[in-house]
Amino acid sequence: MTTDTDTNTDDTDTGTETAIYVYGILPADVDIDDDTRGVGDPPAEVSTVPSGPIAALVSEIPRDAPLGRPQDLSAHARLLDAAAAELPVLPLRFGAVVTDEQAVVDELLDANRDDFTAALEQLEGKAEYLVRARYDERAILREILSENDRMAQLAEAIRGKPEDATRNERMALGEQITQAIEAKRALDTQRVADALAESVVQLAPRQPTHEEEAVHLAVLAETERQDELEAVIDQLAQEWQGRVEVRLLGPLAAYDFVVTRIPE
């Protein structure tokens, strides 16, 4: 359906005051499917607030609606990721709420029109993808010990002994293993970046979320080249079979490559 921009900020039927929840910025010439829903309980209908060539993707929500539930976080991301698969979208971080549609136009769209328009043009035909890889715990431990005789000797020396009696040695070995994994993570991340270099526009390493994470890399790429990305990752998965589990996620909204701020 064509987007509806006649949202009231005071529900006269219920007397509930409402506000406008903003998901992101996109081109104004878009249609929103009838069944598209966003945050809230029940999930709110989604529409757009246009201004010239750009528009805000929004929902009307009660002003006192609690936000931050896991299902709302998921709904926010799911909506933006679905949009990013089809058109350029500038995502806002979760929880962006303004008073009414006029504030969306005046304080967000019109105040940043040139920047938003230029950013959308740069994102045309592109989306974010994530490369996530995780070491097999036993395989990476064997690899590390096989490469370091001192660590292997220390591991052998404490094997089968009481933990209390070898606490210091175990702590020392743990620290050395952590450092070794960090070094391997840097090398493996660079390996992925080099392999993807010809297929992507931009790369942005992310902080690891787990001690055994091998790669956490965001890339901006043309959606038409997704098959190339998948082929590269499939090749790496074969090379790392039994050592690292690697996967490609996307297309996603370009959180790592676009910073969209909303007025306080």
Check: CB of residue 103 under 8 Å from CB of residue 22: no
β-strand pairing of 54-62 with 126-135: unpaired
Compute the CA torsion angle 78, 84, 89, 90 (nearest 10 deg): 60
Which class for 92: exposed (0-12), middle (13-18), buried (19 or more C-beta within 10 A)? Answer: buried
* pLDDT at residue 163, rounded to an integer: 86
- pLDDT by residue (tens digit) across 205-258? 999 999 999 999 999 999 999 999 999 999 999 999 999 999 999 999 999 998
Two structure tokens written together for 205: 């390493």
- Domain assignments of the chain as residue spans, ordered by start: 10-124, 127-252
Evaluate if residue 1 carries a pLDDT over 70: no
Q: Letter for the amino acid at 208?
A: P
Percent share of the chain, pLDDT over 70? 92
β-strand pairing of 54-62 with 16-27: antiparallel
Two structure tokens written together for 15: 């007397």
- pLDDT by residue (tens digit) across 4-40? 333 444 544 444 699 999 999 999 999 888 899 999 9
CA 145/CA 72 separation, integer angstroms: 44
Sign of torsion over alpha carbons 52, 115, 106, 87? positive
146/65: higher pLDDT: 146
| β-bridge mates for residue 98, sequence order | 20
Report the CATH fold assignment for 127-252.
Answer: Alpha-Beta Plaits (3.30.70)
Compute the CA torsion angle 252, 86, 199, 249 (nearest 10 deg): 30
Q: What is the pTM of this model?
A: 0.86
Evaluate if residue 51 carries a pLDDT over 60: yes
- pLDDT by residue (tens digit) across 56-104? 999 999 988 888 889 999 999 999 999 999 999 999 988 789 999 999 9
End-to-end CA distance of the chain: 32
* pLDDT at residue 16, rounded to an integer: 62
**How much is the mean pLDDT over the chain?**
91
